[in-house]
Chain A
Amino acid sequence: MKTEAITVNIGPQHPSTHGVFRLRVTFDGEVIQDVEAVFGYLHRGSEKLAEERTYTQVITLTDRLDYVASMTNNQAYVLACENLMDIEVPERGQYLRMIAAELQRIASHFVATGFLLQDLGAMATPLMYGFRERERILDMFEMLCGARITNTYMRIGGVFQDAPEEFWGSLRSFLDGMPGFLDEFDSLLRGNEILLARTKDIGVLEASEAINCSVTGPVLRSTGVAWDLRKVDPYELYPRIKFDIPIGTNGDNYDRFVIRLAEIRQSISIIDQCYEQIEAGPVRSTNELLFYPKTGDAYGKVEAPKGELGFYLVSDGGIAPYRCKIRSPSLINLTMIKDLLIGSKLSDMIVTLGSIDINMGEVDR
């Protein structure tokens, strides 16, 4: 019988490409023969726009990179700026940044796991459970800075303002409620036979290959490499915090899913310790809005929920960065997508893509 491979464009409009991402896939029946990723549908030229704005104004651009994790984007950028300008940040400001970043990590991981399960066909139920908790985090962000998604909370030399009184109350109740919620979430999902059958040993990534492909974040840790920038290259006040790095053993979809849940638990413990350690004091060392850094360059990186988010800034002495390069984890984590997908089925492709957790705002910038 004569058969013919068919080429399908998965995306740019598709329910599970997590944005406007397009995969040109060649199928033999249901089995994938070839994959080509096509980007650029959400390209806004953030790097070029940054060259036209002052150092402070660029913070608003970073919100729009990975729009489910704007706090960590802010943090990476202001850290790069502080490296460039040698600005110290008061301790309370650093603690507030850490609390905000870890809350953002929890929110982002809930989005990631929720949409992974949505891709598995679980009809939005786990997604909505995760979103209920994310909603509380966004409410707290609203208390911090008045915005929920595009926060622009952090400033060069600290944060925009001190946290209001009601923030601490809702943070406490959030921290107290979370472990119970996570236990419920775990018990609903981890033992589910269908979930195990769909995710275990699917999309297996080797550690050496992952490192060679510059993969970072939970995807790298799922292969068994304990590489977490909060631990290996601590920024802010992370050396004062005790926490663990969850790593996987197999590098498959299940590990990537489980590690995110484990990281949420670690983040809760980090916020808890920050809550205990934080003391009264200034939150911002400088109220300047215009900076004239000396000529030079600096690289600042943080462990964003999706991997290593880095900003490479070049200064020519003016008020705007001469060059602002964004090292986006989402784009670089996609490097090995072809190897992961070829030979698997259409259904597994969607799940693997969901477990890598990309965000098109960051991929296309």
Chain B
Amino acid sequence: MTEVLDHTKLANIVRNGIKGSVCRESTGDLSVELEKLRDVLGFLQKEESLDFKLLNSITAVDYIEFFQLVYHLTSLTHNHCAVIKVDIFDRSNPTAPSVIDIWRGADYQEREIYDLMGIQFKDHPNLKRLLLWEGFDGHPLRKDYLEPPLPYNWPQGG
């Protein structure tokens, strides 16, 4: 059984590793500061006792007041998993650091989030729309997205 890491224990390890990074801990997951996100994730991957080599998925959720990025991590050697969350409050220009140099598996997922949720990933080498076409107006997974009225007048398709 993949063990869900105890959040207090995980928070302690992360606090010791990266100072001032944890902002909130709740059952089953850990919220970190946006500025320290890259450091924390890199630390989680490198740290021997944690060894999160597999990034299961990255999810973006639109909570209207803020965007939340959810990182599901798994360690294949210790067979445990953890959930890291980070909140982005800047709604006009939400930006998060890219983790593509830590886990290359983040490549398409970050592009997808940029495409559908409109979160910019700093230092992503190829941040283009993944599923929709270039020139699509808006980011459909946002809660305030409204479908334009028919007939569509999008460039390059629609």
- Determine whether A and B are in direct contact in the complex, meaning some CB atoms lie less than 8 angstroms apart: yes
Asked if B61 and A314 make an inter-chain contact with CB atoms under 8 angstroms apart, the answer reads yes
Shortest CB-to-CB span from B91 to chain A, Å, is 16
Q: Is A141 positioned at the interface, with any CB of B under 8 Å from its CB?
A: no
Task: Check if A308 sits within 8 Å of B56, measured CB to CB.
Answer: yes
B79 CB-CB contact with A under 8 Å: yes
A69 to B129, CA, bound (A): 27
Contact A48 B141 (CB under 8 A): yes
A336 interfacial contact with B, CB 8 Å:
yes
Cβ proximity bits B104-120 to A, threshold 8 Å, 1 near / 0 not: 11111100100010000
Shortest distance from the beta carbon of A325 to any chain B beta carbon, whole Å? 4
Identify which of A39, A40, A45, A213 contacts B104 (C-beta below 8 A).
A213
How close is A241's CB to chain B, nearest CB, in angstroms? 15
B95 at the A interface (CB under 8 A): no
Give the residue name and chain of the A residue nearest to B142 (CB). A48
Interface residues of B (CB under 8 A from A): 1-2, 53-57, 59, 61-62, 70, 72, 76, 79, 83, 103-109, 112, 116, 129-133, 140-141
CB contacts (< 8 Å) of A325 on chain B: these are 57, 59, 61, 70
Whether the pair A40, B130 counts as a contact (CB closer than 8 A) is yes
Contact B1 A39 (CB under 8 A): no
Docked complex: A210-229 residues within 8 A CB-CB of B: 211-216, 225, 227
Contact of B72 among A233, A299, A323, A335 (CB under 8 A): A299
Question: Known: A213-B105, A225-B76, A335-B105. Contact between A232 and B2, CB under 8 A?
Answer: yes
Task: Tell me what chain A mostly uses at the interface: helix, strand, loop, or mixed.
Answer: mixed
**Does A331 reach chain B (CB closer than 8 Å)?**
yes
Complex Cα gap A216–B103 (Å): 14
Between-chain CB contacts (< 8 Å), 30 pairs: A39-B131, A40-B131, A43-B132, A45-B140, A47-B141, A48-B116, A48-B140, A48-B141, A211-B54, A211-B76, A212-B103, A212-B104, A212-B105, A213-B103, A213-B105, A214-B57, A214-B103, A216-B54, A233-B2, A299-B72, A299-B83, A308-B56, A312-B57, A312-B59, A323-B62, A325-B57, A327-B57, A331-B112, A335-B104, A365-B131
- We find that the number of chain A residues with CB closer than 8 angstroms to chain B is 36
Interface residues of A in 304-357 (CB under 8 A from B): 308, 310, 312, 314, 322-323, 325, 327, 331-332, 334-336
Interface residues of A (CB under 8 A from B): 39-40, 43, 45, 47-48, 209, 211-216, 225, 227, 232-234, 297, 299, 301, 308, 310, 312, 314, 322-323, 325, 327, 331-332, 334-336, 364-365
- B112: which A residues are within 8 A, CB to CB? 331
A240: min CB distance to chain B, Å = 14
Q: How far is the CA of A327 from the CA of B129 in the complex (A)?
A: 18
Besides the known contacts A212-B104, A214-B106, A325-B70, 6 further A-B residue pairs in the complex with CB atoms under 8 A apart: A213-B105, A216-B54, A312-B70, A331-B112, A332-B108, A335-B104
Query: How far, in whole Å, are A25 and B2 apart by their CA atoms in the complex?
Result: 40
- A86, chain B: closest CB distance, angstroms: 13
Is B61 a contact partner of A336 (Cβ separation < 8 A)?
no
Question: In the complex, how many angstroms separate the beta carbon of B97 from the nearest chain A beta carbon?
Answer: 18
Q: Which of A48, A214, A314 has the most CB of B within 10 A?
A: A214
